[in-house]
Structure 1
Amino acid sequence: MKILTVTGYKPMELGIFKEDDPRVVFIKYALRKRLVSYVEEGLEWIIISGQMGIEMWTAQVVLDLQDEYDIKLGIFPPFENQESRWPEPIQFTYQELLMCADFYEPIYKGEYKGGYQFKAKNLWFIEKSDACLLLIDDEYPGSVRFFYEEAKKGENYPIYTITPMDLDDAVTEMQMDDPNYWTS
């Protein structure tokens, strides 16, 4: 696997309304752990559309990983200015990510035209990547279900997941890594 697409929930689907929510730390930890294993197996590119939540947090993790690994980040939004209606602090973070990405190009030129752009985006990512990593709960798939349904139609297209149980494991691991955990 050389190219992996990563997607998942938007922050509001997780009940996260601030970038400094402590749960983001655990999500990034779980993403990092999984991505490092793929990079060590030969992964070269991570591609995302740059949507709020899992995708932006993935981008931040990838940029941190670039200090240690030869991994590249590509951001391909479904259309230009997708962030125009987002809260201002998230727009700022998005613009920073675009400047740091190894490659950036909107799939459609111009502004939002219709829902078909999101369906086309999902198909484009499946076509351009060797596999996907989804942060998803099968019982509550949220907006990621649209990508997941398309991905399941792909022939020999591996779908990897980070589940709520994986996030629980990440919390436990992080707690156990804290020396104070063992003394209290």
Structure 2
Amino acid sequence: MKILTVTGYKPMELNIFKQDDPRIAFIKFALEKQLIAMMEEGLEWVIISGQMGVELWAAEVVLDLKESYDIQLGIFPPFENQTSRWPENYQETYEELIMSADFVEPIYKGDYKGPYQFRAKNKWFVDKSDACLLIIDEEFPGSNKFFLSEAQKAEDYAIYMITPDDLDDAVTELQMSDPDYWS
């Protein structure tokens, strides 16, 4: 596997409304562990659409890992100006990530035209990657269900998931690695 799509929940789907929410650290830790394992197996590119939440957090993880690993980040928003209705703090984060990414290109030129752009985006990501990594609870998939459905239609397409149990394990592992936890 050379190219991986990473996606998952938007922050509001996780009831995360502040960028300093401590749960983000656990999500990023779980992503980092999975990405390191994949990079050690030959992963070269992580591609995202740059949506708020898991995708932006994954981009931050990839950029941090670039210091130790040969990994590239591609951001392919479904259309130009996708951040126009986002909260300002997420717009700033997105702009910083765009500046640091190895490749950035919107799938559609111009602004939002209709929901078909999101359907096309999901298909495009499945077509352009070898596998996907989803943070998802299959009982409550939220907006992830659309990408997952597209990924399940593809032949020979690997779907990796970080589940709520995996996130619980990440919380435990991080807590136990903190010396203050044992005090």
Coarse TM-score class (shorter-chain normalised): over 0.9
Tell me what 2:105 maps to.
105
- Alignment partner of 2:6: what SS? strand
Tell me what 2:162 maps to.
162
- Residue 133 of structure 1: CA displacement? 0.3
**Correspondence list, 1:16-165, <5 A:** 16-165=16-165
- Partner letter of residue 28 of structure 2? K
TM-score normalised by structure 1 residue count = 0.99
Identity %: 73
Tell me what 2:178 maps to.
178
- Aligned mates of 2:80, 2:181 — CA distance in 1: 46
- Alignment partner of 1:74: what SS? strand
1:117-148, Cα deviation, whole Å (9 max, x unpaired):
00000000000000000000011000010000
- Aligned mates of 1:89, 1:172 — CA distance in 2: 29
- Residue 179 of structure 1: CA displacement? 1.4
- Residue 156 of structure 1: CA displacement? 1.0
- Aligned mates of 2:166, 2:21 — CA distance in 1: 18
For structure 1, the residue ranges without an aligned partner over 5 or more in a row are none
TM-score normalised by structure 2 residue count = 0.99
- Aligned mates of 1:139, 1:127 — CA distance in 2: 26
Q: After the TM superposition, which segments of 4 or more aligned residues of structure 1 sit over 2 Å from their partners?
A: none
For structure 2, the residue ranges without an aligned partner over 5 or more in a row are none
